[in-house]
């Protein structure tokens, strides 16, 4: 598997954070990278996608990664879709250029603007006229947009360093393929605009970040900061809401509630991060005044299910319950096509639980009883 997944100090994947908050990079030094099952799952998906794409392009590749820690039918379908998407871009490029270059897991260097700046682009399609940067996002937690995406713009700068003298590139197209969120996003920028951003925005922020200077700034980018649990700027920003003067009148106004709604998710996330940090420190031996470590609630479990089943069976009882497989397990058992053919008439997707989100969320607004009444009055 490609080695940019060794991260640079000023990584492309972290650029949204360090452009907005340059000193966060040095503040986070000394914090170990915390791996997670989600990160490992994403790494496995990228390995499978690389294999499939190289094979489809006729490029040399190792045997399929049979020992992936994570693999299921969903990953297989998602990486098939990604491969098809890249091939579509290749085919379109051939209409404008006889010999477009297609690079898979290509290391790119953008150190002209960012000290020791490098990264690995999932796929590049380079033809006269347009440079395509295609990035696979396997996660489901956050919907990622290609629009003005700093990670992809860093990759594009590195790709220009490699190919701008060979191909007559005028525009850069950034693509996000996020199959598990049904999210495919494309955004274009003129090469001149990208280079202006690199000079005016990227390099000044990178220079500050490298030496640990600049202003702290809190925002959505905090979620990936190693120092988010101890950052004073983040604490002060979130405590402003807790210290807000809500004295009179007794009821909060609509405007005050809207202020709270706009900030409460960040407040809850920050409080959770602080609690998690304090727990990790306590487990390492730190004592917090007024707090102690205790054993949480646990649930009984069998130590040997085979022996339990035998003992209960020998006593004349049936130790098992019959239960219909869940939808995901059933689809895995039957395969997608057979599952669809046999069971699609019996599958429904109930309406999700209502949740309040910002207007920027792409999901359509639900109809409420009040809205339904307004529509009925309108039609009368």
DSSP bridge pairs for 171: 130, 190
Q: Considering the chain, what percentage of its residues have pLDDT values greater than 90?
A: 42
pLDDT surpasses 80 at 373: no
Q: What is the rounded distance in angstroms from the CA atom of residue 293 to the CA atom of residue 315?
A: 42
Q: What pLDDT is recorded for position 159?
A: 95
- As a whole number, the mean pLDDT across the chain is 85
pLDDT surpasses 80 at 51: yes
Q: Give the model's confidence band at 161: pLDDT under 50 very low, under 70 low, under 90 confident, else very high.
A: very high
Pairing of strands 101-109, 183-190: unpaired
Q: Determine the average pLDDT of the residues in 258-287.
A: 81
202-206-212 Cα angle (round to 5): 150
**What pLDDT, in 10s, does the model give residues 213-269?**
999 988 888 888 888 888 888 888 777 766 655 555 567 778 877 877 887 787 788
pLDDT surpasses 50 at 184: yes
pLDDT surpasses 70 at 134: yes
Q: Determine the average pLDDT of the residues in 85-89.
A: 95
Q: Give the model's confidence band at 5: pLDDT under 50 very low, under 70 low, under 90 confident, else very high.
A: very low
pLDDT surpasses 60 at 99: yes
Q: Give the model's confidence band at 9: pLDDT under 50 very low, under 70 low, under 90 confident, else very high.
A: confident
pLDDT surpasses 80 at 32: no
Q: Are 217 and 233 in contact (CB under 8 A)?
A: yes
Q: Are 136 and 105 in contact (CB under 8 A)?
A: no
Q: What is the rounded distance in angstroms from the CA atom of residue 116 to the CA atom of residue 9?
A: 8
Give the least confident one: 148-157, 211-220, 300-309: 211-220
Query: Out of 3.10.129, 3.30.1910, 3.90.320, 3.40.50, which CATH number does the structure's domain 15-211 have?
Result: 3.90.320
Q: Determine the average pLDDT of the residues in 131-155.
A: 93
Q: Considering the chain, what percentage of its residues have pLDDT values greater than 70?
A: 91
pTM: 0.70
Give the least confident one: 82-91, 162-171, 219-228, 342-351: 219-228
More confident residue, 304 or 31: 304
Q: Give the model's confidence band at 147: pLDDT under 50 very low, under 70 low, under 90 confident, else very high.
A: very high
Assigned token pair, 170? 């005028």
Which range, 96-110, 152-166, 335-349, is most confident? 152-166
Q: Give the model's confidence band at 4: pLDDT under 50 very low, under 70 low, under 90 confident, else very high.
A: very low
Q: By CB neighbour count within 10 A (0-12 exposed, 13-18 middle, 19+ buried), where does 56 fall?
A: middle
Handedness of CA 208, 213, 215, 218 (dihedral sign): positive
211-212-218 Cα angle (round to 5): 145
Q: Determine the average pLDDT of the residues in 148-156.
A: 96
pLDDT surpasses 90 at 36: no
Q: By CB neighbour count within 10 A (0-12 exposed, 13-18 middle, 19+ buried), where does 235 fall?
A: middle
More confident residue, 140 or 204: 204
């Amino acid at each position: 598997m490609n080695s940019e997944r060794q991260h640079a100090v000023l990584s492309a994947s972290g650029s949204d954070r360090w452009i907005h908050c340059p000193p966060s990079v040095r503040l986070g030094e000394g914090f170990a990278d915390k791996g997670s099952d989600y990160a490992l799952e994403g790494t496995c998906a990228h390995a499978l996608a690389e294999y499939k794409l190289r094979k489809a392009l006729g490029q040399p590749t190792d045997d399929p990664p049979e020992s992936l820690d994570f693999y299921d039918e969903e990953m297989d379908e998602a990486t098939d879709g990604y491969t098809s998407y890249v091939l579509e871009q290749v085919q379109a490029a051939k209409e404008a250029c006889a010999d477009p270059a297609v690079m898979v897991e290509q290391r790119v260097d953008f150190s002209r603007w960012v000290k020791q700046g490098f990264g690995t682009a999932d796929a590049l399609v380079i033809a006269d006229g347009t440079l395509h940067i295609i990035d696979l996002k396997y996660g489901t937690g956050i919907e990622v947009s290609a629009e003005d995406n700093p990670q992809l713009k860093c990759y594009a700068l590195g790709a220009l360093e490699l190919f701008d003298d060979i191909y007559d590139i005028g525009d850069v197209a950034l693509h996000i393929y996020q199959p598990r969120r049904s999210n495919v996003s494309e955004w274009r920028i003129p090469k001149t605009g990208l280079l202006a951003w690199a000079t005016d925005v990227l390099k000044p922020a990178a220079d500050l970040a490298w030496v640990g200077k600049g202003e702290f700034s809190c925002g959505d980018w905090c979620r990936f900061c190693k120092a988010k649990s101890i950052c004073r700027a983040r604490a002060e920003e979130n405590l402003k809401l807790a210290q807000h003067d809500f004295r009179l009148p007794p009821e909060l106004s609509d405007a005050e509630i809207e202020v709270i709604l706009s900030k409460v998710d960040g407040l809850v996330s920050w409080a959770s991060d602080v609690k998690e940090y304090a727990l990790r420190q306590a487990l390492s031996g730190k004592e917090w005044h007024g707090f102690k470590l205790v054993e949480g609630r646990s649930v009984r479990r069998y130590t040997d299910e085979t022996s339990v089943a035998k003992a209960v069976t020998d006593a004349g009882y049936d130790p098992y319950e019959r239960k219909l497989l869940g939808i995901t397990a059933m689809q895995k058992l039957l395969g997608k096509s057979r599952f669809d053919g046999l069971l699609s008439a019996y599958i429904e997707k109930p309406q999700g639980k209502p949740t309040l989100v910002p207007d920027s969320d792409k999901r359509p607004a639900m109809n409420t009883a009040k809205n339904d009444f307004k529509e009925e009055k309108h039609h009368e």
